[in-house]
């Protein structure tokens, strides 16, 4: 039997040991895993909350909570997917000979789709007729405003810099995209429009929703044209 003082103050704080003699076997010092349930560790003058789960060599290196994912707000808020509707627009665009990208704009408060569009650059002879731009134009006309605060834009491919700038100008609340675009993307790739100091608005961004389906559609489209 030894007292808490024999363990060292830091080890006692991690284990939450009571101020009374405790057997070594009861402390489980020979096991490699210990679970901290709401334990708090005082380190470097700060009080850090410990996460539940296995802790290894905590007394030697301290406890550090892993930072949350960059875009994780959707994990704790109501989240209904509309990517299937965007994929339908992308397939329709492919049938017209356009790059298969589709977009829909939804009011998350009501679940109503305000606009849906696919690429029409060739059909309209308009290099700006991307799915996102056409959907934003239609949604703005539907609500009678040049801005769409609180609305969600679902698109099958990461928006290009032009579309990202239009999303910021429209003050769209949340952007959800499917496949990343390392070549022409403007959100997580290239210029990263929303991170630019001159961007007046930054929506919540969620990437990788239905990524496999969105990417497969694009690969099949371009493979058929090679």
Cite the active site residues. 132
Give the CA count within 13 Å in the CB-facing half-sphere of 103: 31
Instruction: Tell me which DSSP letter residue 101 carries.
Output: -
φ, ψ (nearest 5 deg) of residue 12: -65, -40
Rounded distance between C-alpha atoms, residue 215 and residue 156, angstroms = 8
Asked whether 135 and 163 are in contact (CB, 8 A), the reply is no
Here the tokens at position 101 are 């990208």
Asked whether 68 and 194 are in contact (CB, 8 A), the reply is no
Rounded distance between C-alpha atoms, residue 199 and residue 52, angstroms = 39
């Amino acid at each position: 039997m030894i007292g808490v003082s024999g363990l060292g103050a830091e080890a006692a704080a991690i284990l939450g040991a009571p101020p009374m003699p405790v057997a070594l076997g009861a402390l489980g010092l020979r096991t490699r895993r210990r679970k901290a349930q709401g334990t708090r560790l005082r380190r470097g003058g700060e009080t850090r909350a410990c996460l539940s789960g296995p802790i290894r060599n905590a007394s030697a290196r301290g406890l550090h909570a892993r930072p949350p994912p960059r875009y994780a707000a959707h994990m704790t808020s109501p989240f209904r997917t509309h990517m299937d509707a965007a994929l339908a627009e992308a397939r329709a665009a492919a049938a017209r000979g356009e790059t298969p990208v589709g977009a829909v704009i939804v009011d998350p408060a009501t679940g109503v789709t305000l606009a849906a569009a696919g690429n029409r650059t060739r059909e309209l002879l308009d290099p700006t007729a991307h799915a996102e731009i056409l959907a934003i134009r239609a949604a703005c006309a539907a609500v009678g405003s040049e801005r769409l605060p609180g609305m969600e834009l679902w698109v099958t491919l990461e928006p290009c810099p032009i579309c990202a700038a239009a999303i910021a100008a429209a003050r769209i609340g949340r952007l959800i995209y499917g496949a990343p675009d390392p070549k022409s993307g403007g959100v997580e790739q290239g210029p990263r429009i929303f991170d630019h100091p001159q961007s007046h608005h930054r929506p919540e961004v969620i990437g990788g929703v239905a990524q496999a389906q969105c990417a497969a559609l694009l690969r099949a489209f371009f493979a058929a044209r090679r």
